[in-house]
């Protein structure tokens, strides 16, 4: 058996190639599919199946394009109601790839159509691809099926049964390979490890410890973070089948063209790092750097109705920014600023700056602090007197920001985004360089 994991850190997303005897299956592919075609070709294998463990909400899958380019058959759980040619599978169905058998295990709970895939080689179970049902150190959130008529409590009860009635009945040495890792919003606190075993998870995963169904349901439905707004859009795109990436056109724009589009309401998305953004940017630009969880934050902070213009430090980075937005279903890019901020300046247009503050300067200053980390981060330790408005809540809570602030996060990425949002609303702020990590390194105190 050939088994290969593809891991995309910016989305904490894992996809897979499973091959045997010159044919293979691709599981949970990301939207840009060239790597799967290249890897299969390098191995001398034809792609026979494209398997989706469920309708993904946190990214747009490439199943539709990959099928069109390879002739492979798309496979979904029957409850997905996918609106294109596919094989709908039920619990117990088996796919054969060479000498390998892939057994469908219906594991609803994260979504109604979730299917885990047990890989059987030489008659023995070897690995299980658990999608978003079972993560390493965590399990899938149960609150994403409300639009389909399911309550979080109903889904959590299904998840309990899937875990205890299906996955935990497997031998302890079966390897667990999920669809996401640390940082994904599909779980609460997923481990940084990208695989494990049933036995290890049985012992160490908090959600798999002995408890009643009612206790599990209560735990899984209490204090669930609000899902990012793009989740429901992406799930529907995956049900309908997304268009090929090549169909998404984002041309180079001159500074004059960008200026004219800004006058008509275009939103400038500056994807450079926080230092470059602070030194000079187009007035009103929002800073979401490519160096962090760029696509997830863009899908959270920006509207699909916004007409976006990318500002980066090269054509290559501009095109990368467009492609990564498409991974989360953001296809509303009008173009990118050719020549970047330098060309903008040379064309005679004015740049804005964002003041930066070191933690030492913050320590000695008399300024209010706005902490934009998530609530659990804030509660674990923060600067005395700081107020907490998590970045993903800032736009709808903007009325609570009533004075100039020094904006801080863990390292400076989210605080730069937050400061740019405040500036777009006409509010002055400064960005704290290095964030709470630098504050703690310098030996300054935090409270909890």
User: Helix count (H) and strand count (E) of the chain?
Assistant: 15, 24
Residues of the chain within CATH 3.60.15.10 domain(s) are 2-240
- Collect all residues with Cβ–Cβ distance below 8 Å to 164 and sequence separation of at least 6: none
CB atoms within 10 A of CB 244: 14
Residue 426 tokens read as 């006409």
Please, are residues 28 and 110 in contact by the beta-carbon 8 Å criterion?
Answer: no
Beta-bridge partner residues of 180: 13
- Collect all residues with Cβ–Cβ distance below 8 Å to 260 and sequence separation of at least 6: none
- Collect all residues with Cβ–Cβ distance below 8 Å to 205 and sequence separation of at least 6: 134, 136, 137, 138, 139
3-state secondary structure of 393: helix
Q: Which residue has the tokens 């400076």?
A: 412
Q: Give the Å distances, CA to CA, from 38 to 33, 42, 44, 52.
A: 9, 6, 10, 20
In this structure, CATH architecture of domain 2-240? 4-Layer Sandwich (3.60)
Give the per-residue pLDDT at 152.
95
Task: List the strands of the sheet with 252-253, edge to edge.
Answer: 252-253, 333-337, 308-311, 267-270, 286-287
Closest of 412, 448, 411, 446 to residue 431, by C-alpha: 412
Class for the domain spanning 356-441: alpha beta
Closest of 222, 140, 132 to residue 188, by C-alpha: 140
Q: How far apart are CA 331 and CA 310, in angstroms?
A: 12
CB atoms within 10 A of CB 212: 9
Q: How far apart are CA 434 and CA 357, in angstroms?
A: 9
Mean pLDDT per 10-residue interval, the chain, length 448 residues: 96 97 98 97 98 97 97 97 96 98 98 97 97 97 89 97 98 98 90 96 97 97 90 94 91 98 97 97 97 93 95 96 96 97 96 96 94 95 96 94 92 97 94 97 95
Give the per-residue pLDDT at 188.
85
Closest of 245, 231, 255, 236 to residue 311, by C-alpha: 255
Residues of the chain within CATH 3.40.250.10 domain(s) are 248-352, 356-441
What is the β-pairing status of strands 13-20 and 23-27? Answer: antiparallel
At residue 102, what are phi and psi to the nearest 5 degrees? -115, 115
Work out the angle at residue 142's Cα, subtended by the Cα atoms of residues 221 and 178, and round it to the nearest 5 degrees: 125
Taking domain 248-352, whether its CATH number is 3.40.250.10 is answered by yes
- Give the distance from CA 343 to its chain's centroid: 32
Q: How far apart are CA 124 and CA 122, in angstroms?
A: 6
Q: Give the Å distances, CA to CA, from 156 to 110, 153, 182, 222.
A: 8, 5, 21, 11
Q: How far apart are CA 127 and CA 332, in angstroms?
A: 39
- Whether the pTM exceeds 0.85: the reply is yes
Buried/exposed code over 288-301 (b: 16+ C-beta within 10 A; e: otherwise): bbbebbbbbbbbbb
């Amino acid at each position: 058996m050939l088994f290969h994991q593809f891991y995309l850190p910016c989305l904490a997303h894992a996809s897979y190639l499973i091959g045997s005897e010159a044919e293979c299956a691709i599981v949970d592919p990301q939207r840009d599919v060239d790597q799967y075609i290249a890897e299969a070709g390098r191995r001398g294998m034809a792609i026979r199946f494209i398997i989706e463990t469920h309708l993904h909400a946190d990214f747009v899958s490439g199943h539709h394009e990959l099928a069109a380019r390879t002739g492979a058959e798309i496979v979904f759980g029957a409850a997905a109601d996918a609106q294109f040619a596919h094989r709908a599978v039920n619990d117990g169905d088996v796919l054969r790839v060479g000498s390998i058998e892939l057994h469908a295990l219906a594991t609803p709970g994260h979504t109604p159509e979730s299917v885990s895939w047990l890989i059987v080689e030489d008659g023995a179970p070897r690995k299980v691809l658990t999608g978003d049902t079972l993560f390493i150190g965590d399990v899938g959130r149960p609150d994403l099926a409300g639009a389909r008529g399911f309550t979080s409590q109903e889904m959590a009860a299904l998840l309990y049964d899937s875990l205890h009635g299906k996955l935990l009945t497997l031998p302890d040495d079966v390897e667990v390979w999920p669809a996401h890792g640390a940082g994904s919003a599909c779980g609460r606190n997923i481990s940084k490890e990208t695989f494990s075993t049933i036995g290890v998870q049985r012992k160490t995963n908090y959600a798999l410890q002995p408890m009643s169904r009612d206790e599990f349901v209560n735990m899984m439905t209490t204090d669930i973070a609000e899902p990012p707004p793009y989740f429901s859009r992406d799930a529907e795109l995956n049900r309908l089948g997304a268009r090929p990436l090549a169909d998404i056109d984002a041309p180079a724009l001159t500074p004059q063209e960008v200026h004219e589009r800004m006058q008509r309401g275009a939103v400038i998305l500056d994807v450079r790092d926080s230092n470059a953004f602070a030194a000079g940017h187009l007035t009103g630009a929002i800073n979401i750097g490519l160096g962090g969880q760029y696509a997830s934050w863009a899908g959270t902070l920006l509207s699909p109705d916004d007409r976006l213009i990318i500002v980066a430090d090269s054509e290559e980075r501009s095109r990368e920014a467009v492609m990564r937005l498409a991974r989360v279903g953001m296809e509303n890019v009008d173009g990118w600023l050719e020549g970047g901020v330098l060309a903008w300046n040379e064309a005679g247009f004015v740049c804005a700056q964002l003041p930066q503050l070191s933690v030492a300067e913050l320590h000695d200053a008399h300024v209010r602090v706005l902490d934009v980390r998530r609530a659990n981060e804030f509660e674990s330790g923060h600067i005395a007197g700081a107020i907490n408005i998590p970045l993903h809540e800032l736009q709808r809570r903007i009325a609570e920001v009533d004075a100039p602030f020094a904006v801080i996060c863990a390292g400076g990425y989210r605080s730069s985004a937050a400061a740019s949002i405040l500036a777009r609303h006409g509010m002055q702020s400064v960005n704290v360089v290095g964030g709470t990590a630098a504050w703690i390194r310098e030996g300054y105190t935090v409270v909890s």
